[in-house]
Structure 1
Amino acid sequence: MNRIDLINQLAAISQSDDIIELTAALIDSLSSSSPGVEMLDPILRFMESHPDWDFGLPGPLVHFVEKFYRRGYEEELLKSVQRRPTAHTAWMLNRIINGEKDAITKAKLIGVMQNASQNPSIDSATLERINHFLSLHQQ
């Protein structure tokens, strides 16, 4: 599967009510094609386009993108959160923050979360979630 196929299949999924099952099937198909980090951007943009959707906890899309942890995932997620934070991508960023051992890197990630709270495209649910995460990291 190439990037265009992925984008087209994500667009088709957006017309359905069964997001988790369809994204699971898509990720199974995608995983069999030896995908690279270039596939993360379309997935994250898809999540940005549907900020109110339940993608699962964490869900097939997150399981897939997290396979690229320490191999480009963090950078792609930060770009997404800076473009258009959603409740789900903020939660994903918080997972990275929680796992980060380096204090300087952790502080930078928290800074990205703080900046996301000021993003003009942010919705109230995302802002509430970000503020909750920030309050946990201030303790």
Structure 2
Amino acid sequence: MARIGAEERKQDFIEATIKVIAEYGIADATTRRIAAAADSPLASLHYVFHTKDELFCAVYESLINMPQQSLQYVPTGATPAESIGEMLRQLVKWFTLHPERATTQFELFFWSLRNNPEMAARIYAVSIEATHQVADFGAP
């Protein structure tokens, strides 16, 4: 059997977690179910991600960057209001094209608000930073 590198295995677990949360909801996203979806031993999941919170945070961070990447197409010379309008249209389009990822992103954020406010603050900060990078309208 071929050995899978740690980074590739990490991505497998992130993708499996997205699918499991989208299908079963976060309450039923057990580590056993996630490992099975990744076609990996449970021990490997716990080796790569020491806690479920660590896994969920990695999933959210990977998801927050995806819709932000679609925002690079804001027209040059547009006013801030026009740019924000275009950004919102692109985000809605991304969420429509990727319902599994959007569902998982929202599930994780609302779960963290209820169960782990510190994690919610971290992922909110990641979201704000990503938005600031895209929405830099020439501010000093």
Q: Same fold (TM over 0.5)?
A: no
Structure of greater Rg: 2
Of Structure 1 and Structure 2, the greater helix share is in 2
Higher relative contact order (CA 8 A, sep 6+): 2
TM-score with structure 2 length normalisation?
Answer: 0.31
TM-score with structure 1 length normalisation?
Answer: 0.31
